[in-house]
Amino acid sequence: MAEPEYNATGVRIERSLRSLTRAGQVRISGGRLALLTSYGREIDSAPLGAVEAHKPLFAARDRALAILNGNRYSLTLGARDRFLSAVQAARRPRA
């Protein structure tokens, strides 16, 4: 299996004000973004071309918003800017 382009652990993942996991994982690998539980079970995944990721206007500095398959997820990660940069870098076509 190829090494992931981005991997963050200990991520709180929420959907519609409901916490799905407090120690989840966000992984970008092979052109896909995957949200995983602390046990490694997939919550949701989508190709990066179909993923929207940005920082919310009125939220803490460590929060990011990701929309996968029409579902809106709030992510609390230590390095929000690294996550957003990784999504943008993975979307760019390789020369």
Band of residue 42 on the pLDDT scale cut at 50, 70, 90: very high
Q: Return the minimum-mean-pLDDT range out of 21-30, 37-46, 54-63.
A: 54-63
What is this structure's pTM? Answer: 0.87
Report the percent of the chain where pLDDT is more than 90. Answer: 55
What topology does CATH give the domain 6-91? PH-domain like (2.30.29)
Distance (Å, rounded) from C-alpha 2 to C-alpha 31? Answer: 11
User: What are the distances in angstroms from CA 31 to CA 1, 81, 84?
Assistant: 13, 19, 15
Distance (Å, rounded) from C-alpha 46 to C-alpha 60? Answer: 25
Contacts of 2 (CB under 8 A, 6+ apart): 29, 30
In the prediction, which pLDDT does 3 show? 61
